[in-house]
Structure 1
């Protein structure tokens, strides 16, 4: 089943929306940072690399086939400031499997924005996306990321040790996941309270 969301996705404090050419400077503000790139596959990005990345993300707004991505800018509803990005990838169409991810400007961490945005993506994947299971992964040293996965109700399913070379050293990775019925139960509890 293809997924063509209506944008923007609204949460209490955020708007998740497709990227535009005007987002290059805001993306460059956080993607040029060493501390942001530390656990990402690429290093800090130049402004030109950010412009190319934003151009690519502009078209990543629907899931039509396996491997497709929805990549959205996360902005504060109150000011319109772009504070990060979230992604939903269709990993396996037949098994209805997805993967979520996020990158946020450190200046906006610690306010629950990543949790709010990631929950909106889970709602999208499990709701209109009709996914059965959504996973996420991170470097084991990325404590903020795996704690976010815990807050989302995801379960740690794997701890891979020295399974791949990452930036010229062996990495360790956690894999978390949540099933549709687990997400649905959490939504029922939060809606009842």
Structure 2
């Protein structure tokens, strides 16, 4: 694999991925404190103090080198507005595996921003970093994320029933994944690929 890998802005047709910054605090707080946004996430709606802590941590995460390294860039629309975040976590160097995830601001839902942003990261994951497998873990009740995984060409690999005690109830976990060879042959892939700016 081509490690270490240092994050740099990734540009698609309508979205840009870049590192979070202080100016993202208010929209990030709006998103992470919204009960509907947090419904299928691992955490409850966050306080301003917790979001400030998370922002400081994630804004400084810009390198993938060893297991558990992650990047969590902002998704920005055509006008540079914050519309959500991506999550990319290096799970194993030996197995060349990473986890991908996403959260959208309520104002940006249904516009295809997360799908385009995920494609940018998957192109980098397979074409540049040299990963073998990328997977997503999600609550199977999250229909929008399930649909997005399928649009990306990911396979439904597993459904763990009552897998964790979360938010005062037993929750299932779904696993979707895609291999490098599947990504290269996927019809859902953008024909032009990403434009990467150093």
Pair in the same fold by TM > 0.5: yes
SS at match of 2:62: coil
Size of the aligned set, in residue pairs, is 191
1:157 and 1:20 map into 2 onto residues whose CA distance is 35
Work out whether residues 159 and 173 of structure 2, in 8 Å CA contact, stay in contact via their aligned partners in 1. Answer: yes
SS at match of 1:2: coil
TM normalised by structure 2 equals 0.92
Aligned to 1:61: 62
Work out whether residues 2 and 62 of structure 1, in 8 Å CA contact, stay in contact via their aligned partners in 2. Answer: no
Is 1:19 aligned with 2:20?
Answer: yes
Aligned to 1:75: 76
Q: CA deviation at 1:191?
A: 3.0
Q: CA deviation at 1:186?
A: 2.0
Is 1:102 aligned with 2:105?
Answer: no
1:70 and 1:191 map into 2 onto residues whose CA distance is 25
Once the two structures are superposed, residues 88-140 of structure 1 have per-residue CA deviations (whole angstroms, 9 ceiling, x without a partner) of 11111101011100010121111111110111111111121110000001101
Let me know the Cα RMSD of the aligned residues: 1.6
Unmatched 5+ stretches in structure 2: 193-198
Query: Which one has more relative contact order, counting CA pairs under 8 Å at least 6 apart?
Result: 2
Work out whether residues 7 and 62 of structure 2, in 8 Å CA contact, stay in contact via their aligned partners in 1. Answer: no
TM normalised by structure 1 equals 0.94
2:106 and 2:89 map into 1 onto residues whose CA distance is 24
Is 1:136 aligned with 2:133?
Answer: no
Q: CA deviation at 1:187?
A: 6.6
1:6 and 1:98 map into 2 onto residues whose CA distance is 15
Aligned to 1:172: 172
1:40 and 1:84 map into 2 onto residues whose CA distance is 14
SS at match of 2:5: coil
